[in-house]
Structure 1
Amino acid sequence: MSSTDNYPHRIIAAGAAMGLEINETQATAMVAYINQLVRWNRTYNLTALRDTEQMLVQHVFDSLSVLTPISNTLYKNTVSNFTIVDVGSGAGLPGVILALMRPECRVYCIDAVEKKMAFVRQVSGVLKLPNLQTVHQRVEAIQPYDADIVISRAFASLVDFATLAGRHVAANGHLLAMKGRSPDEEIDTLHKQTDWQVDHIEPLQVPELNAQRCLVWMSRQGNV
């Protein structure tokens, strides 16, 4: 297991590389998140990653990578108290990181696995995130959230994501899918089988990660 002593510095540097200003308090909180995840993982198997280095890059940096794209779109307006829903949140990714970096936003982490939501509730208390709420439920079984952003790293297909989670998106809101390579076949199927369309695919630059990542922006047809 790697030492986390230099993680706050690396988080701040990674943020700068992504156009983010991360203060020391926020960076320290992200390290506390990693430490909590390591502790819970010993018993509850919340994530396949076991090494703190992997957690730092593949969980924290990866989650941070969507902040600038989201901010560039949402903060064109003067209103700042947006609602973000993280579907299939698992160990709270990217929801916890978004709540930490955007305290003015309401963030809901939704997952059907109780132990994962218990972990996120614990983390929310430890990190003092009053703007973060957890929902232990299947996303299709809860009342619509009318959210500005519904985001997920978890769904295998865009069609499933749009079909199950699209009802939680506000009229002019967006579905965001965090993916590896551009999912061209999934996009074709999405357009054929749903009333959602891909507006654009935004490449994500994740510091220290040697892998392709992208953010797929979707909206209801006619709402571009």
Structure 2
Amino acid sequence: MAEHDFMQRLGAAAKSLNIDIDQEKSTALLEYIFQLLRWNRTYNLTALRDPEQMLVQHLFDSLAVVGPLTFLLDKNTVSTRPLVVDVGSGAGLPGVVLAIMRPLWTIHCVDAVEKKTAFVRQVASVLKLPNLHAIHARVETLPSFDADVVISRAFASLRDFATLAGPHVAPGGQLLAMKGREPSDEIDTLEQLTDWRSHHIETLNVPELNAQRCLVWLNRKELHE
């Protein structure tokens, strides 16, 4: 892994996304990628094997939601320690990145695959992230987190996401789904079959990624209408 090149590209990506990343956070983000590369050789945590792809498709993609979440939580959260739950987190995307970037947020990464939550726990230890927690479970089996935000990245259809993860959102909280193209069909199904609605679709411009990405904001019907 070309650390100096990656550090420069990370700085450029942060500037493009209008977020501040100091030396400590930059080092932690690249160490996360290093740990993922190392564990992936044995445990097959992600389909990506190339560090170049991981940098862009995992790290930069996750960094793209830091700005929108910060705006949301700074505006709407009274608590000084907002609670964010990453559902179907896999190897910690975007949860680990959020924990590094926002140490005052409490981040729970939930996944049904034990080796993936074990990896997130290892990362929390290695990077000294007391705000990062990993839970091995299916999200629908857990008591409510009462979270400010529940986020997912390629976890499920919007309908399934709302049905399984919606009970973990506090009153006035949000579900946020990271998607590729605007999921019009999924939104139609969601609004027909659940009490959740899409009230905003935000385009995500992921640095160095030649693909469409968006963030779908969901809230409960009674809050939307």
Cα pair 2:154 2:179 within 8 Å, conserved = no
Q: Which amino acid aligns with 1:46?
A: L
Alpha-carbon distance, 1:70 to partner: 1.0
- Please tell me whether residue 47 in structure 1 is matched to residue 46 in structure 2: yes
Quote the offset at 1:175 in angstroms: 0.2
Paired residues of 1:4 and 1:52 also in contact (CA < 8 A): no
Asked whether the 8 Å contact 1:177–1:217 carries over to 2, the reply is: yes
Cα distance in 2 for residues equivalent to 1:4 and 1:190 = 43
When structure 1 is superposed on structure 2, of 148-157 and 98-107 the one drifting more is 148-157
Give the 3-state SS of the residue equivalent to 2:120 in structure 1: helix
Off by >4 Å, runs of 4+ in structure 1: none
Q: Distance in 1 between matches of 2:108 and 2:39?
A: 21
1:32 matched to 2:31: yes
Per the TM alignment, residue 7 of structure 1 is displaced from its structure 2 partner at its CA by 1.3
C-alpha distance in structure 2 between counterparts of 1:124 and 1:8, whole Å? 21
Partner residue, 2:221: 221
CA distance in 1, matches of 2:195, 2:79: 28
- Cα deviation per residue 1:143-167 (whole Å; 9 max; x = unaligned)? 1000000000132310000000000
CA separation in 2, counterparts of 1:47 and 1:4? 21
Aligned match of 2:12: 13
SS of the residue 2:134 aligns to: strand
1:86 paired residue number: 86
Task: State percent identity of aligned pairs.
Answer: 61
Matched, 1:109 2:109: yes
Per-residue deviation, residues 90-140 of structure 1 (Å, max 9, x unmatched): 000000000001100100000000000000000111111000011000000
Which position in structure 2 is the counterpart of 1:148? 148
Residue 5 of structure 1 aligns to a residue whose secondary structure is: helix
For 1:180, the aligned partner's letter is G
Return the offset for 1:4: 2.7
Q: Which has the higher mean CA deviation after the structures are superposed, 3-12 or 59-68?
A: 3-12
* Alignment match, 2:193: 193
Q: What is the TM-score of this pair, normalised by structure 2?
A: 0.97
Paired residue secondary structure (1:76): helix
SS at match of 2:46: coil
Alpha-carbon distance between aligned partners in 2 of 1:150 and 1:139, rounded to the nearest angstrom: 11
Q: TM (normalized to structure 1)?
A: 0.97
| C-alpha RMSD over aligned residues | 1.0
1:94 is matched by which residue type in structure 2?
P
- Give, in angstroms, the shift of residue 84 of structure 1: 0.2
